[in-house]
């Protein structure tokens, strides 16, 4: 049997009252730190002085871990055309664009732009297929007087609407107006400075280190005969997923770990009937 209306009203008020035991039990189990851990820090053991704080996970911040950090997850697959199947590339990935250089000659191939379309979202999961420009394609330049100490370059995957200033050595910034001292080796490329004011260097194929000052001589073993049949020896580094100390890039017609295998070929001819 349901209680009278007045009794039900009184019961509802007691349930919502902050003095009720139900509310006290509920408030005791409500997490104060949301997605983090509620910790008590002892400031002085003798005086028993303590304070509470929230230990937040990497994706949250704030006094109570109530704010979510912005995160970006990027998955990208690069594709090359037949003219570049044996070319080694150095790809510099930044927040929204990628700059592509040939590792051996350090020639600039182009840049790809992948903007974040919804910057107000806390989490971004991006997946793209990047096509590396051909080596015989003309570099897409533009005219922009704002590039003070650099040249205006169009993005290879969006040449109609987007461009940027590619700064000369010793200059950085959106319009190449900020000078800096490049500490990279003379046979490398300097792309500017990082957040800790260190030079960003692109090393040639046989150089390594943060400033490209060290030389990898693994390919000089056995009088440079580590790769057979005119294969190119490439030292591996921490950026490559490999247990070997070097890799061989084989010329057309050869394969194998050391380019020791001649590829099979079959010719088909059609004679007159």
DSSP per-residue string spanning 153-178: EE-TT-TTT-EEEEEPTTEETTTT-E
Predicted local confidence at residue 25, as pLDDT: 45
Q: Tell me, what's the pLDDT at 221?
A: 72
d(CA 117, CA 161): 15
Structure tokens at 167: 């700064």
Reference 109, options 118, 98, 117, 119; nearest CA is 98
Residue 212 DSSP SS3: coil
Per-residue model confidence (pLDDT) at position 35: 81
Alpha-carbon dihedral angle through residues 82, 85, 86, 89, given to the nearest 10 degrees: 120
Q: Quick one: pLDDT at residue 202? A: 92
Q: What is the pLDDT of residue 150?
A: 92
pLDDT in the model for residue 23: 41
User: What is residue 221's DSSP assignment?
Assistant: G
- No. of helices (H) and no. of strands (E), the chain: 2, 22
What pLDDT was estimated at residue 10? Answer: 45
All structural domains of the chain, each given as residue ranges with its CATH number in brackets, are 22-68 (no CATH), 71-137 (no CATH), 216-263 (2.10.25.10)
What pLDDT is stored for residue 101 in this prediction?
Answer: 92
Overall pTM > 0.95: no
- Cα(193)–Cα(199) distance, integer angstroms: 4
Pull the structure tokens for residue 82. Answer: 């037949």
pLDDT of residue 71: 78
What's the pLDDT score for residue 43?
Answer: 84
Query: Which pLDDT belongs to residue 192?
Result: 85
Asked if 261 and 268 touch (Cβ cutoff 8 Å), the reply is: no
The Cα 235–Cα 255 span in angstroms is 18
- At residue 266, what are phi and psi to the nearest 5 degrees? -135, 125
C-alpha–C-alpha distance, residues 3 and 5, integer Å: 7
Given this model, what pLDDT does residue 22 score?
A: 45
**pLDDT values of the chain reduced to their tens digit, one per residue, 273 residues:** 444 544 444 444 444 444 555 444 444 556 788 888 888 888 888 888 888 899 998 888 888 888 888 778 888 889 888 778 788 889 988 877 889 999 888 999 999 988 888 877 777 888 888 888 887 666 778 877 789 999 999 998 877 778 899 999 889 888 999 999 999 998 999 988 887 788 889 998 889 888 999 988 888 775 556 788 888 888 887 665 566 788 888 888 898 988 999 987 665 666 555
- Copy the structure tokens of residue 161: 């609407």
DSSP state, residue 59: T
Phi, psi for residue 232 in degrees, rounded to 5: -95, 125
């Amino acid at each position: 049997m349901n209680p009278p209306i007045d009794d039900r009203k009184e019961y509802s008020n007691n349930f919502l009252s902050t003095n009720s035991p139900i509310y006290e039990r509920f408030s005791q189990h409500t997490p104060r730190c949301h997605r983090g851990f509620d910790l008590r820090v002892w400031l002085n053991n003798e005086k028993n002085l303590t304070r509470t704080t929230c230990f937040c996970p990497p994706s949250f911040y704030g006094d109570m871990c109530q704010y979510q950090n912005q995160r970006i997850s990027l998955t990208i697959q690069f594709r090359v055309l037949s003219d570049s199947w044996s070319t080694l590339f150095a790809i510099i990935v930044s927040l929204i664009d990628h700059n592509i250089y040939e590792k051996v000659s350090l020639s600039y191939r182009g840049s790809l732009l992948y903007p974040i379309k919804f910057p107000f979202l806390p989490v971004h999961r991006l997946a793209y297929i990047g096509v590396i420009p051909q080596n015989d394609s003309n570099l897409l330049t533009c005219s922009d007087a704002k590039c003070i100490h650099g040249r205006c370059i169009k993005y290879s995957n969006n040449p109609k609407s987007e461009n940027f200033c590619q700064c000369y050595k010793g200059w950085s910034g959106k319009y190449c107006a900020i000078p800096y001292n490049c500490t990279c080796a003379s046979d490398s490329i300097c792309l500017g400075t990082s957040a800790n004011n260190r030079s960003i260097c692109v090393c040639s194929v046989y150089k390594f280190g943060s400033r490209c000052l060290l030389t990898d001589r693994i390919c000089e073993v056995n009088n440079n005969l580590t790769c057979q049949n005119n294969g190119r020896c490439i030292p591996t580094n921490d950026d490559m997923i490999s247990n070997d100390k070097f890799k061989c890039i084989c010329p057309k017609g050869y394969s194998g770990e050391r380019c020791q295998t001649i590829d099979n070929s079959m010719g088909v001819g059609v004679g007159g009937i």
